[in-house]
Structure 1
């Protein structure tokens, strides 16, 4: 029971007791007063009647006697009059059949008033003439008692309702700061640190609110300090201080993560010797400023083509990692890269298409970091040797389909639900048992089984993400995959679905009509959070309110504040796969620890991904991780019903 209801109930009981006590006193006083009044009337009536009957009794006139008694009966509440003539013992009895009007019979049956009788001897001088006995009728008492009690109950009821109403309004006003304090405490418990509460006038509540504001401020400061620590570690260990781009260490770990999962794309290595001319002519300060401006221009120009990771890996060498892109998109990326560099070369007074070279290695088959770096470097050296702007490392793997063929085949596959499913268990770190399963899809085209990394770039390019997500969710639900195990099933959402408000409405309707929404998880890539935070917040609110769960995938990959965790409040985060390749002696382990502390500080589960061997998992033993995922427990095919 809430404090408001407790106080309200206490006031209700106290007021009820007060009214009951007053009613009891009023009842007794009224009963006593009416009884005395009836006794007084009876005495007066007996005395008056005795005096009036003396002449009639002396003369023995029974008719006159009866007339006088009847007059008395007509003027008051009397039940019986008995007259005994002492001369001959004759008795006369008069009974009054008065009925009490407007008084319920059950009230009369309570027996509140006892019968009252008065006996008197009528004399004439020393001679006793007769004995008269008058019994009062209690009807007058019941009538008056009922009238008084009815009026009293009506007044008390009105007072009671008014008092209860004022008590409710008054308590609501008085306890409003306490209610606000309760809501504020819930937000603090959920690690949501909003503005300070206004200080109430009540002394006790004022001190309590001030204490909560202080605690909230301190907790907010702790989270901010953790966020600042993450930013500082990133800047220290993973960012080039001149260009503010990621450094070689970050790029290598990012490539590791990219190659550890099915994907597509390419690696560009660019050597810019014209920057050395700028250094020799204008000094290192102008060179550094030129590098900084060049980094800004590269981001502005290339991000419009496709998202990529741009890193400065040496004094005059840059690396460009383009993920989830098909060949035509890579060609467009290369054209924009050359165009942007030529503009900056011309501004520096150098000749376009000279003194910079580009080597491109496109991902194909199973590759490791050494393979892709070696291919890109060979292409770069070939470009330098042949005095060409770029060289594309020869790749014998032919493109499966052109863009129009991909559009037709993917659209047909989505409409006819031709996808197969696999899932990979996510293991609890303590019990080593599955706590969740991540769903993957495959597609068979022209007799070839394609993994998501092969066709997902075309899904994004052709804006088929929303269609695909709806198709997969409906297929999973149709085959009852959510109900096959007790652990939840995680589904990755595409960028298009996350930003599509029509998809938000559809998923809201789907979850509300689902029997077990608590067994459904949706994973949102961290890049989507930074690119469209408002859409992510809207989608996450829908998922949470429907009883389902969601998590952040590739956590820690992006350079930015972790403050979004307070707004989204995900159930879990998955550390980016690049952290699985951090060696114990590397400074990046400090960054990983800081990221884990940020999530743990907000009571968010942390899952490490990309675990291939037990030795990798052992490196995270002291970070209090909740679960792990990787090819240490590979995906398995799902047999559909």
Structure 2
């Protein structure tokens, strides 16, 4: 129970107790007063009637005596007046059997008042003339008592209600700074440092608020400094300082992760040997400017290809990884890049304006990194030997099976005829953090073969099929969770779904409809979605927070984006990009970067998970690098 409720309950109970005591005291005093009034009235009536009867009794005038009794009986509220005439042995009696009006029957049955009776003997000298008995009727006492107590009761109830409302309002105002302090403490616990608390007027609370605001500012500054330090370390390790692209180490990490996923597509090496000539003639400043322009061209032309990794691997060479593309598509892109790079040179004679050569290697199935890079180097050498602007390609031994248009048809057919298969892979926790759901992997069965998502996801994004696919996968996840009450799983969303307002509306309705399993399902989004669709990701995180659905970031740390977005979005967990694990055993810089990235995530309140863990040696290594859990080949996925 909150402090506000405790104080409110105490004050209201105390006030209610005081009202009850006051009512009880008033109840008893009023009752005693009315009872005494009834007794005195009966005595006075008996005495006055006795005096009035004596002259008539002395003369034996029964009729006169009876008229006196009638007058007394009619002039008051009595239950009975009884007169015994001792001389004649006769009696005169008046009895009132009238029910009490205006008083509930249950109230009179509580017997608050007894009928008061007074006897007196009427004499004349030493002679006894008669015996008079007067019994008061409690009806008037009940009527006055009921009216007084009911009025007092409703007055006390009204007073109680008014005072309670005033107490509630006063406590809300007085304790509002304390509630703000509580909320700020919760925000700090969640690593949110974006707000400060207004200073209250209460001295004690004012000092506490000042301290908390100071602490919040310091923590925000500390997190920002650590995020900047992690970004700086990451850039030094994996980013080329001149072009702003990834360096050789970054490229090796990305291509290793791609090969580990059995990805299809190819590698493109782009040589701009004229950069050396620019350096000799115009100096390093002109060369660096041209390096940046080439990098900008590569970014602009390849921005639409999901999963592409672009790097500068030497002074004059660039490397590009393009997953999921066929030989023809790679050749078309290469010619576009050559033409765009050639446009950087102003050539008024328009003679041989080519500026670069490109070698392409298309990956064979199960081809390792060494063989693939050897093919790419061979293709680049042949291109250099031909002419500027040349594009050469080392084809895969097996011809490309499907182009992106073919993939579109395959995906649509799989959605229509349920040709998907699903596997889940658990997350093993190293630390004592909360357990995370197993990850759901989606594949396609086609012509007796299994194709992983890495092989067709680029076609999904290109043709905007992500929304259809994600709805299908979410519906399947619900059916699996309903059939397995103890299971928890995470579902990866595509970028095209995240950026779609209709899909976000669908997701809102989905969580309402499946509220019974919302605590057993998690949503994962790629880091690339945060870079290009920040507002949509904010909306998605608010939906997840509203329905208490866990959500996380996949491919965390892949892009050279500041990690400060963590405090704004506050994911529950992050899954570090596979590229780190592919080179962590060979590169100490990669270990330092992974540790810094994970520490930054910890400071933002997120659980850290590394993926593509292949052996026990890597597990021992990540134990020292602020990692909370892992996934990988050591825990193979199983079909569901």
TM-score after normalising by structure 1: 0.88
| Structure-1 residue corresponding to 2:628 | 626
| Structure-1 residue corresponding to 2:337 | 337
Map Cα deviations across residues 425-445 of structure 1 (whole Å, 9 max, x no partner).
4434479xx975444444444
Q: CA deviation at 1:621?
A: 1.9
- Matching of residue 234 in structure 1 with residue 244 in structure 2: no
* Residue aligned with 1:168, SS: helix
* Residue aligned with 2:613, SS: coil
Q: Which consecutive residues of structure 1, in runs of 5 or more, have no partner in the other structure?
A: none
| Structure-2 residue corresponding to 1:184 | 184
Shift in alpha-carbon separation, 1:485–1:251, aligned structure 2, 3 A: farther
Q: CA deviation at 1:561?
A: 2.0
- Matching of residue 175 in structure 1 with residue 159 in structure 2: no
Shift in alpha-carbon separation, 1:531–1:324, aligned structure 2, 3 A: farther
Q: Please say which of residues 599-608 and 539-548 is displaced more in the overlay.
A: 539-548
Map Cα deviations across residues 225-265 of structure 1 (whole Å, 9 max, x no partner).
32112112123222222233222222222222222212233
- Pick one of 595, 607, 616 that aligns with 1:614: 616
1:446-457 equivalent positions in 2, closer than 5 A? 446-457=447-458
Q: CA deviation at 1:75?
A: 0.8
- Matching of residue 206 in structure 1 with residue 174 in structure 2: no
Q: CA deviation at 1:385?
A: 2.0
Shift in alpha-carbon separation, 1:490–1:35, aligned structure 2, 3 A: closer
| Structure-2 residue corresponding to 1:536 | 537
Map Cα deviations across residues 498-543 of structure 1 (whole Å, 9 max, x no partner).
2233333444444544464444344322112211122223334445
Q: Please say which of residues 222-231 and 398-407 is displaced more in the overlay.
A: 398-407
Shift in alpha-carbon separation, 1:80–1:468, aligned structure 2, 3 A: closer
| Structure-1 residue corresponding to 2:562 | 561
| Structure-2 residue corresponding to 1:362 | 362
Whole-Å separation in 2 of the counterparts to 1:629 and 1:588: 18
Q: Contact conserved, 2:82 with 2:133, CA < 8 A, in 1?
A: yes
1:175-574 equivalent positions in 2, closer than 5 A? 175-304=175-304, 308-346=308-346, 353-354=353-354, 356-395=356-395, 396-429=397-430, 436-475=437-476, 480=480, 483=483, 486-514=486-514, 516-543=517-544, 545-546=546-547, 548-574=549-575
Shift in alpha-carbon separation, 1:546–1:124, aligned structure 2, 3 A: closer
Q: Please say which of residues 37-46 and 146-155 is displaced more in the overlay.
A: 37-46
| Structure-2 residue corresponding to 1:587 | 589
Q: Contact conserved, 1:237 with 1:588, CA < 8 A, in 2?
A: yes
Map Cα deviations across residues 277-302 of structure 1 (whole Å, 9 max, x no partner).
33333332333334334433432343
Whole-Å separation in 1 of the counterparts to 2:454 and 2:564: 30
Whole-Å separation in 2 of the counterparts to 1:486 and 1:133: 87
Shift in alpha-carbon separation, 1:592–1:27, aligned structure 2, 3 A: same
Q: CA deviation at 1:557?
A: 0.7
* Residue aligned with 1:95, SS: strand
Whole-Å separation in 2 of the counterparts to 1:568 and 1:386: 51
Q: Contact conserved, 2:556 with 2:576, CA < 8 A, in 1?
A: yes
Q: Which consecutive residues of structure 2, in runs of 5 or more, have no partner in the other structure?
A: none
Shift in alpha-carbon separation, 1:481–1:128, aligned structure 2, 3 A: closer
Q: Please say which of residues 594-603 and 110-119 is displaced more in the overlay.
A: 110-119
Q: Contact conserved, 2:359 with 2:392, CA < 8 A, in 1?
A: yes
Shift in alpha-carbon separation, 1:483–1:598, aligned structure 2, 3 A: farther
Whole-Å separation in 2 of the counterparts to 1:23 and 1:161: 16
Q: Contact conserved, 2:599 with 2:626, CA < 8 A, in 1?
A: no
Whole-Å separation in 2 of the counterparts to 1:350 and 1:233: 44
Q: Please say which of residues 218-227 and 64-73 is displaced more in the overlay.
A: 218-227
Map Cα deviations across residues 559-580 of structure 1 (whole Å, 9 max, x no partner).
1122333344434322111211
| Structure-1 residue corresponding to 2:94 | 95
| Structure-1 residue corresponding to 2:138 | 138
Q: Contact conserved, 2:227 with 2:563, CA < 8 A, in 1?
A: yes
Whole-Å separation in 2 of the counterparts to 1:397 and 1:124: 145
Q: Please say which of residues 75-84 and 434-443 is displaced more in the overlay.
A: 434-443
Shift in alpha-carbon separation, 1:264–1:541, aligned structure 2, 3 A: farther
Shift in alpha-carbon separation, 1:348–1:624, aligned structure 2, 3 A: farther
Q: CA deviation at 1:118?
A: 4.1
Whole-Å separation in 1 of the counterparts to 2:319 and 2:351: 22
Shift in alpha-carbon separation, 1:326–1:204, aligned structure 2, 3 A: farther
Q: CA deviation at 1:133?
A: 4.4
